[in-house]
């Protein structure tokens, strides 16, 4: 199995990226070339010495360059849809602030409160549907009657960091198992 060496982290969430850089990357047990990117509309420029470049996944030239230069792409709260051409050529992983398949899409914590759905964090492979791919890991987060979108979201982010810490080495070593969302 091919171990990944050239990894792109694409994110639009400054806070979780700071946590990823500070708490997850130091746990990786081998040398990896990380690059960071964000959406064109994002205001992230740099986190702990890592500079971010803006990329638009709708641009074919950008996608072609990623296919030629990256082994793995990890999306952490990225607001862009990944084109099929990209996900067919490169393993793309998503860190999602929802308990898939219950909470796909944006603001899963809001819908968990409104509809009394389960909530949690999921790491999954990206496929051609939104937040749908085979699941690497997921974990539920306790929801309380007094939760707001913000309090629940903060606990979900904590859970995302926890499961990233637990799974990052198996992800970058391409040595993980998946299961289909039920």
Is residue 77 part of the annotated active site? The answer reads no
Q: Which residue has the tokens 């051609």?
A: 128
**Three-state DSSP string of 144-174:** CCCCCHHHHHHHHHHHHHHHHHHHHHHHHCC
Q: Which of 14, 77, 96, 124 is catalytic?
A: 96
Cβ(164)–Cβ(21) below 8 Å? no
* CB neighbour list of residue 132: distance below 8 Å, 6 or more residues apart: 100, 101, 104, 124, 181
- Give residue 8's Cα distance to chain centre: 11
Rounded distance, CA 95 to CA 97, Å? Answer: 7
Catalytically annotated residues: 96
């Amino acid at each position: 199995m091919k171990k990944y060496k050239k990894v792109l982290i694409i994110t639009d969430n400054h806070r979780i990226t700071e946590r990823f850089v500070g708490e997850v990357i130091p746990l990786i047990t081998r040398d990896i070339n990380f690059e960071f990117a964000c959406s064109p509309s994002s205001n992230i420029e740099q986190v702990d010495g890592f500079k971010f470049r803006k990329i638009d996944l709708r641009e074919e030239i950008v996608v072609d360059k990623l296919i030629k230069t990256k082994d793995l792409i990890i999306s952490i709260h990225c607001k862009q849809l990944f084109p099929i051409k990209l996900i067919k050529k490169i393993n793309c992983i998503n860190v999602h602030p929802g308990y898939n398949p219950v909470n796909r899409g944006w603001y899963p914590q809001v819908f968990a409160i409104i509809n009394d759905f389960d909530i949690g964090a999921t790491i999954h492979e990206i496929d051609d549907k939104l937040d749908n791919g085979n699941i690497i890991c997921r974990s539920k987060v306790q929801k309380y009657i007094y939760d707001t979108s913000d309090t629940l979201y903060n606990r979900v982010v904590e859970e995302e960091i926890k499961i990233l810490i637990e799974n990052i080495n198996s992800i970058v070593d391409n040595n993980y198992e998946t299961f289909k969302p039920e």
